Amino acid sequence: MVRKILKTLTNNIGFKLLAVFMAFILWLVVYNIDDPVKTNTYTVRVNVINAEAVTDQNKCYQALDGTNNVTFSVSAPRSVMEKVESGDFTATADMNQMVVDETGTVATVPITISAERYNSSLTYNGGTKFFKVSLEDLMTKTVGVTAQVEGEVANGYAIGEVSAITPNVISVSGPASIVSNIDNTAVATINVEGMAMNLSGSVVPVLYDKEGNEVDTTRLTISSSTVTVSVNILATKEVDLIFATTGALAPNRYIVNISSDPAKVHLKGSSSVLNTITALEIPDINVGGASADFEKEVYVSEYLPDGVELVDASEDKVKIKVEIEPYEYRTFTIESENIEVAGLGEEYNLSWLKNSVNVSIGGLASDLDKLTNATLLGTVDVSGISEGTYTMTVQLALDEEIYSVGKAQISLLITAKTSLDTDNDTQGNTTGGSSNDGTTNNGTTNNGSSDNGSTNDDQNNEDQDLVDQNGSESTGSETSGE
């Protein structure tokens, strides 16, 4: 059975294939002659014309429900449809034909669809399409433009004046619900990263609402899309603050220091001006009648030269501290062991008739606090003086620019060395300079025997009586000692 079927199909195969081919050719001819209708669907954006018909009514509009795009179907002979593309179609909404509803907030506008090519051969299906919009009051607002910078300028430079040149105000129009909430200032930001010279450039201004949020400008009309911003780049310099005072302090009071926080300020300006500034003086610190430390606040900007500004405005307010101390006198005691003897001849011994001397020293309290009885050292010069009792002035090694030293006098006795003293000195030298028993202060009494000690004590008493009784002799001796 299968063989019979296969034999039938393959019998005269060439004629059968020719018949199929001729049938296809006949169908193709008939199809092209008939040219059947074909339908396609397209979506295009609605083009709005005569929008001034809305704005003339002090209104603005916004498309509703995505009706700014329209979808439609078109029918035409297949031969035409094969040549038509979506870009051939235009959908137009003429706002002169808008119909406003009873609420006055929604309008409907018929959409006219046409094709640039073969329009007369096309059939638009589905009836008229409509463009629906919401209507809102139109509002116009004028806002100022504030210029600002972003980024850091080159090291050693600072930002000077930053300004919006053209324009410095812009007009914004749009729905009242948006425009009414726009802040009164637009911000134009220019980048100054790494800059070391003046610059200017065009930037897009940014609008913000009253809560500080950036405003979407899609529905707004702005009078100028860009703003020209100019920036001055200035040199910088750090300088010390110095101070001058006015007025007189309370009696016996002196200024010991004037300091400030901060101690230095950073200035900016042209190099030619900054090069002439080595320090910034605050000249009018009034200390009239002051008797103790006090603080005062000043604003540095009041003392800046023309063309100079502070790099950091927070440095403008400076706290100044004036430290004041009294000038006073204190009495100190200098022990005789802390008094050095200069100019004593080798043939003489020296004995102190007083173990100490008081001296009055004047100075500021902080300087006087540095002195103690133990650290005060004095000097007595007995050059050229022979035997006798003297009252000598003690010289102190203190800075005369800091301290005022009163007169300090001490009594002493100079005696000639005896042969025993000489022998003891020689023995002391032989034994390595050891001290002899019985020496008084500087070793001027050398004999340790009780007799000589008694004799020297008697002599010292007599000398002390001589000092007390013969004031004229003491005075003369003091003069020669000085």
Tell which CATH architecture fits domain 328-481. Beta Complex (2.170)
The topology (CATH level 3) of 37-127 is RNA Polymerase Alpha Subunit; Chain A, domain 2 (2.170.120)
Residue 266: the pLDDT is 94
Residue 420 — pLDDT band, cuts 50, 70, 90?
low
Residue 162 — pLDDT band, cuts 50, 70, 90?
very high
- Cβ-contact 285, 243 below 8 angstroms: yes
Residue 25: the pLDDT is 80
Question: What percent of the chain stands above pLDDT 90?
Answer: 66
Residue 20 — pLDDT band, cuts 50, 70, 90?
confident
The topology (CATH level 3) of 138-234 is RNA Polymerase Alpha Subunit; Chain A, domain 2 (2.170.120)
With a CB cutoff of 8 Å and minimum separation 6, the contacts of 125 are 39, 72, 73, 74, 75
Residue 230 — pLDDT band, cuts 50, 70, 90?
very high
Residue whose pair of structure tokens reads 């090519």 in the numeric block: 117
Cα dihedral 399, 405, 407, 408, rounded to 10, equals -70
pLDDT at 464 over 70: no
Question: Cα-flanking dihedrals φ and ψ of residue 30, to 5°?
Answer: -65, -40
CA 242 – CA 120 distance, rounded (Å): 92
Residue 458 — pLDDT band, cuts 50, 70, 90?
very low
CA 129 – CA 110 distance, rounded (Å): 6
Residue 24 — pLDDT band, cuts 50, 70, 90?
confident
pLDDT at 393 over 90: yes
Average pLDDT for 54-72: 88
Would you list the domain boundaries of the chain? 37-127, 138-234, 238-326, 328-481
Residue 455 — pLDDT band, cuts 50, 70, 90?
very low
Residue 115 β-bridge partners: 89
pLDDT per residue over 136-149, tens digit each? 999 999 999 999 99
pLDDT at 225 over 70: yes
In terms of Cα–Cα distance, which of 385, 381, 392 is closest to 475? Answer: 392
pLDDT at 269 over 80: yes
Average pLDDT for 456-464: 39
Residue 398 — pLDDT band, cuts 50, 70, 90?
very high
> Is 0.75 surpassed by the pTM of this model?
no
Distances (CA, A) of 181 to 145, 156, 208: 16, 41, 9
Residue 467 — pLDDT band, cuts 50, 70, 90?
very low
pLDDT at 68 over 70: yes
Residue 18 — pLDDT band, cuts 50, 70, 90?
confident
Average pLDDT value over all residues in the chain: 84
Residue 372: the pLDDT is 94
328-481 has the same fold as 37-127: yes
Q: DSSP label at 230?
A: E
* Superfamily of the domain at 238-326: YbbR-like domain (2.170.120.40)
CA 352 – CA 261 distance, rounded (Å): 55
